Amino acid sequence: MKRLPIALTLIALATALPSTAADKFADYKAMAKQQASNYAAEKLNLPTPAPAGARAYFPTLKDGDTVSSPVTVVFGVSNIGIAPAGTQVDGTGHHHLLIDDPTIDYTVPMPATDNVKHFGKGQTETVLALKPGKHTLQLVFGDWKHQAFNPSIQSDKITITVK
């Protein structure tokens, strides 16, 4: 009985909304479809199609640069949005930075290792401590489930020298 006022409030709120029953049914149907589609994509590692013209790049570093450690690495992406990992929103993903050329399997989610860094909060730069010498860097943009897009949205692999 204690719950009755809450239930009544919810009913009052629901009836106050402008949507019709048919609208609500369509919303639930769309939500169920999206959930089923996400579930299948995750279970089957289905790659997300890359939006036309999407590309990833390093706005502040270029191949052959000499830098000192720690180095700020800025991530650039265009024609696609950024969203936190785990959030399935069409036309979005998050950055992954590959350090020193790890092998990536494009058909499964990228692992999180010292050489494959995820920026699942939607970060667009990081500060890296690197040992002196040559290092390669590459961006591979990933979808909500940490998998590369198809075709992959990735930067050129650049080699930098750390003093």
**Judged by CB under 5 A, does residue 142 bind Cu ion?**
yes
User: What is the nearest approach in angstroms of Cu ion to the Cβ of residue 119?
Assistant: 7
User: What is the nearest approach in angstroms of Cu ion to the Cβ of residue 108?
Assistant: 12
**Judged by CB under 5 A, does residue 145 bind Cu ion?**
no
**Judged by CB under 5 A, does residue 146 bind Cu ion?**
yes
Neighbouring C-alpha atoms within 13 Å toward the C-beta of 98: 23
**Three-point CA angle 160, 58, 132, nearest 5°:** 20
Q: Are 72 and 59 in contact (CB under 8 A)?
A: no
Please, which residue, 135 or 146, has the CB nearer to Cu ion?
Answer: 146
**Judged by CB under 5 A, does residue 118 bind Cu ion?**
yes
Distance between CA atoms of 15 and 4, rounded to whole angstroms? Answer: 16
- Site residues for Cu ion per CB under 5 A: 85, 118, 120, 142, 146
